[in-house]
Structure 1
Amino acid sequence: MALSLVHTELVSMQGLRVDGRRPHELAVVRCKLGASSKPDGSVYLEQGCTKVLVAVYGPHQASKTKMLPNAVALNCKISIARFATAMRKSDPADERKVLENMSMNLKQALLATLKSELYPRSQIDVYVEVLQDDGNAFCASVNAACLALIDAGIPMREYVTACSASIAITDDQKQHLLVDVNKGEEAAGCAVLTVACLPDTGKIAVLDLTHRVHMDHFEKVLNTAIQGCKDIKIVLDKALRQYLAETWPH
């Protein structure tokens, strides 16, 4: 695979990224379970400056076209609000393809942990609205959808989380592994690897790479993304436990 590194000041001489984080630091994750009373499960999540709202409906009876005799039919759809980002100049057809691909990857990530065999001939709908996009919209969608399924009381084998990573070199020729890549870093041409995995078992559910990366660097970037998934799982688990303590106090 060809080398794809970025020679730019994504990391300052003081070791800080443009948004003030260290290369290995995640963006701050904030989330609210039970964000809406109408869906069966809902979560509002902020990952850095990216904000998403997820609603889960079901399980309910599936339509004849979607009915699976031995498993649940999972329907996932990701939408991006028109005001989600200051610049939206992409072709509508291209944008639709990107959203369809993100939705398919979200479905793949959730099916990796969902106990779908418990709900044959049923359907679960997961709707994600990206309210603000500063990069990592897919990762935020996976992380929020995982909590929304839990909020809906739908059994899962374990958490599924997502995180991105990249590698860049600065003008002084130092290499930096970046975790939780933001939109500015994406725009700079970083080769971004996005991973959705089950952090407890290490099973990878989704792996997506924007540019080719030399094999000498791929494993390091992959391990950085997986570690990010594990760190995000800790944050989500803490938020869930706090929510349960407030909702069902002893």
Structure 2
Amino acid sequence: MRVLVTNDDGIESPGLAVLARVALDAGADEVVVAAPARDSSGASAALLGAERDGRLVVDRQDAPGLPGGVASFAVRAAPGMIAFVAAHGGFGPKPDLVLSGVNRGANTGHAVLHSGTVGAALSAATHGIRGMAVSLADARPQHWSTAGLYARHVLEWMRDRPHLPDRVVNLNVPDRPAGEVRGLRRAPLAAFGAVQARVHEVEHGNLMLTFSEHQASREQDTDAGLLLRGWATVTLLHAPAFDAEADLPESPGPLPGVTDAVSP
């Protein structure tokens, strides 16, 4: 098994080393770290990157605390782009698995659409690479080993289910000592997520954004609600897919055009 580890917090995050160790403990034959050179939070699955002379800018740089023998790169690109490049052989042979995180802060609710952590895993899934996004529910997490413990448990589940190449596992873990986490629960997405943005118009047409805790995050049986109550949560997400059962408009031939001029 070949594993790519990435994130959206950047190459300096200790969460990268946590997932690299998880992959090695799971028996990965090779682990490569490729993470944004700078924070790319909120990048979703964007294919953004900086080029020099037509080449994506990539530098050898060790993430903090990495186990020996793990190659590590700082890439001037969004995490979705990094996963895309990896799928096309940019960091060696195509990986079998992408581990994204461990993110500083939760990624819950439908707001995962905007997450660079989740976006990297979704980008990989569109190329037939299984992915897991892992997040710790604090902007300044302290209990990285708790995230590693739960990521290892979920990865063992994924290894027994190789038939899920177009799915992404989204794991959120409370920032607590492992003994204080209530357990692991399967959870649906909350209505939005942990925070909500509000747009305020100010003078001269300028806009200002403010962020506050979203009450929907307290929905008790969603990922956000369970996380607030001390549970680790796991959600299975779909990569973009065609819905063969959808009832959509069709036409057996060309649509009729407007033949008569319309009077003003």
- After TM superposition, the score normalised by the length of structure 2 is 0.27
Higher helix share: 1
- Higher Cα Rg: structure 1 or 2? 2
